[in-house]
Amino acid sequence: MTLSALSPTSRRRSWRTSLVLVLLAPALASCRPATPVAGPAGPFTARDSRGHSIVPAPLSVQLAGGEGFTVDSTTQIAIAGGAPPEVDFVAQQLFDMLGLPVTSRPRRLVEGEMPAPRSIALAIDAGNSTVGDEGYELNVATDRVTLAARSAAGLFHGVQTIRQLLPVSVEYPAAVGRVLRMPAGRVVDVPRFAWRGAMLDVSRHFLSADDVKRYIDVMALYKLNRLHLHLSDDQGWRIEIKSRPNLTVVGGSTQVGGGPGGFYTQAQFADLVAYATQRFITVVPEIDMPGHTNAALASYAELNCDGVAPPVYTGIRVGFSTLCVERETTYAFIDDVVREIGGLIPGPYFHVGGDEVEKLTAPQYRRFIERVEGIVRARGKTMIGWGEIAPANISASSIVQHWHNDSSQLHVARGGRVILSPAKHMYLDMKYDSTTMLGLRWAGLVEVRDAYALDPGTYIPGVPESAILGVEGPLWSETLVKRQDFEYMAFPRLAAVAEVGWSAASARGWDGFRLRLAEHGPRLQALGINFYRSGQIPWPR
């Protein structure tokens, strides 16, 4: 393919777009139809039929045989001019990942300058209509790698694909004598759904900010883009609210089983949000209400209808607590909480829980949700709630998260959108099989294949794919105490969640997924992740 082959419209594009196209030309020319990679170019041992082990599966992968691209001390990282500042950070992460010498530091090209031979070039191509807001186009040739996207997020996702095209030694930055070589070819990729989430319940058992960052790191590897933090429940309140200090002094003081609990200061939370943002992950805070509120009720007597604060709670029953929905003090409290947390996040979402309320009448519950929606909107955020909120008279712009036997369809009927977290597929706290020590089993056993089997486009009868915002894997922590417990339940199922959310139906398939996922065993091990060695996956020995 040469420039002269381009249409008149494309010839009118900006110099930057032309640069992208010039950069792509050699790689495009060397692309052949999909053939499994053989020999030294391929770092894989088990692969799906298209010869790669990328998870989530990209929309299209064409690998060419031959030498591929080798990263070495002469490799340069170039940023095509005009890219927004976030691209510098993406380039820096690529640089760090490849362990390049200082002489290879990312450099912005000046207008008209071509990248040096042996470069990995990152370019924003705002006119690319095939890759959407988060997709990318990657071309790998022996003398050059080009990654183009419409946004920095797209480039970031492309860097994760580069990472997965490289051998697992890329995950050992201090290893001596490693050879980082990737196969030549072309990947064009775009996510199927905008919402690809993971939820951490840091209430039942607290997880430190550093442990949450580790989780974010692995989310990024799999192109997940929403981190939902379940910050309050009966057993613990986990975020500092300056106007309501007892929430953390009392409500944050314990956890399931009576351990020490814990909470994030606002500074720690802001730092966590910044860490996620740099990885193109939006933090979605959840304050569960009006039920699942014993920690708040224990902190402030005025939130209880009888004006008496109950003791803190360390068991795992659900459904017994509720804020006093008839008292104005409750709404002043909620406004303080939404205002303070809302001020710490750039993201547009605020999750209000709303699940499993047994102590209110249906009209009381609905009025509460409608009023809280007003508070969240007045604070400039979009309300999200579990499926139970759907019968309330809420706006179509609010979001419902389906989990189990709920009436999410009602929200779709009013034109609203739904996040799918059906427990029997997406709940990462369900046991894998009958021998799994950790987790619960009320929704059944969820092996990797069960997680993977969800088809979001057909899951809720009568709900079309266009009403599905995406998917999310919640990890509830009644039985999970330490980081390794959380990891064991999340991995490798979270990779299945990611593929369900990202990959086009045409690119998906269990037989290919299990082979590709097998290659992620050594990678997860390299990252120090305590993952479940499912018997369904042919892990390499």
Residues designated catalytic? 356
For the bound state, the minimum distance from the C-beta of residue 491 to ligand NGO, rounded and expressed in Å, comes to 18
For the bound state, the minimum distance from the C-beta of residue 475 to ligand NGO, rounded and expressed in Å, comes to 9
* 291 vs 521, beta carbon nearer ligand NGO: 291
Residues of span 496-535 touching ligand NGO by CB under 6 A: none
* 356 vs 370, beta carbon nearer ligand NGO: 356
* 400 vs 500, beta carbon nearer ligand NGO: 400
H or E element in which residue 183 lies: none
- Selection from 21, 5, 258, 249 nearest residue 125 by Cα: 21
H or E element in which residue 337 lies: helix 328-342
> How far is residue 332's CA from residue 176's CA, in Å, rounded to a whole number?
59
For the bound state, the minimum distance from the C-beta of residue 112 to ligand NGO, rounded and expressed in Å, comes to 55
The reply to whether 356 sits near ligand NGO by the rule CB under 6 A is: yes
Sheet of strand 60-63, all strands in order from the earlier edge strand to the far edge: 60-63, 185-189, 136-141, 144-149, 119-124, 76-79, 107-108
Compute CA distances 76 → 70, 80, 120, 152, whole Å. 12, 13, 6, 19
* 259 vs 509, beta carbon nearer ligand NGO: 259
* 258 vs 319, beta carbon nearer ligand NGO: 319
How many other C-beta atoms can be found within 10 angstroms of the C-beta atom of residue 159? Answer: 22
* 334 vs 446, beta carbon nearer ligand NGO: 446
What is the crossing angle of helices 493-502 and 483-490, to 10°?
A: 50
The reply to whether 335 sits near ligand NGO by the rule CB under 6 A is: no
For the bound state, the minimum distance from the C-beta of residue 317 to ligand NGO, rounded and expressed in Å, comes to 10
For the bound state, the minimum distance from the C-beta of residue 159 to ligand NGO, rounded and expressed in Å, comes to 34
Residues of span 406-435 touching ligand NGO by CB under 6 A: 427, 429
> How far is residue 160's CA from residue 55's CA, in Å, rounded to a whole number?
10
Determine the number of helices (DSSP H) and then strands (DSSP E) in the chain.
17, 19
For the bound state, the minimum distance from the C-beta of residue 284 to ligand NGO, rounded and expressed in Å, comes to 14
Residues of span 227-266 touching ligand NGO by CB under 6 A: none
31, 116, 440, 481: residue in contact with ligand NGO (rule CB under 6 A) = 440
Residues of span 41-80 touching ligand NGO by CB under 6 A: none
Angle at 47 between CA 46 and CA 51, to 5 degrees: 140
DSSP 377-430: HHTT-EEEEEGGGTTS---TTSEEEE-SS--HHHHHHTT-EEEE--HHHH-TTB
For the bound state, the minimum distance from the C-beta of residue 325 to ligand NGO, rounded and expressed in Å, comes to 19
H or E element in which residue 52 lies: none
Q: How far is CA 245 from the centre of its chain?
A: 31
**Closest residue to ligand NGO, Cβ-based?**
476
DSSP 119-179: EEEEEE-TT--SSTTT-EEEEEETTEEEEEESSHHHHHHHHHHHHHHS-GGGG-TT-TT--
> How far is residue 98's CA from residue 528's CA, in Å, rounded to a whole number?
19
For the bound state, the minimum distance from the C-beta of residue 388 to ligand NGO, rounded and expressed in Å, comes to 8
The reply to whether 318 sits near ligand NGO by the rule CB under 6 A is: yes
Judge contact between 448 and 517, C-beta under 8 A: yes
* 89 vs 320, beta carbon nearer ligand NGO: 320
For the bound state, the minimum distance from the C-beta of residue 445 to ligand NGO, rounded and expressed in Å, comes to 13
Judged by phi (left if over 0) then psi (alpha if -120 to 50, else beta), residue 177 lies in left
Bridge partners of residue 351, in order along the sequence? 286, 384
Three-state DSSP class for residue 286: strand
* 403 vs 539, beta carbon nearer ligand NGO: 403
Give the number of residues in contact with ligand NGO, rule: CB under 6 A. 10
The reply to whether 333 sits near ligand NGO by the rule CB under 6 A is: no
The reply to whether 450 sits near ligand NGO by the rule CB under 6 A is: no
The reply to whether 355 sits near ligand NGO by the rule CB under 6 A is: yes
Judged by phi (left if over 0) then psi (alpha if -120 to 50, else beta), residue 390 lies in alpha
- The structure tokens listed for 11 are 């010839």
The reply to whether 476 sits near ligand NGO by the rule CB under 6 A is: yes
- Selection from 364, 238, 360, 353 nearest residue 295 by Cα: 238
> How far is residue 273's CA from residue 349's CA, in Å, rounded to a whole number?
13
- Selection from 338, 342, 331, 214 nearest residue 276 by Cα: 214
* 132 vs 439, beta carbon nearer ligand NGO: 439
The reply to whether 481 sits near ligand NGO by the rule CB under 6 A is: no
195, 386, 486, 532: residue in contact with ligand NGO (rule CB under 6 A) = 386
For the bound state, the minimum distance from the C-beta of residue 198 to ligand NGO, rounded and expressed in Å, comes to 15
* 473 vs 492, beta carbon nearer ligand NGO: 473
- Footprint on this chain of ligand NGO (rule: CB under 6 A): 318, 355-356, 386, 403, 427, 429, 440, 476, 478
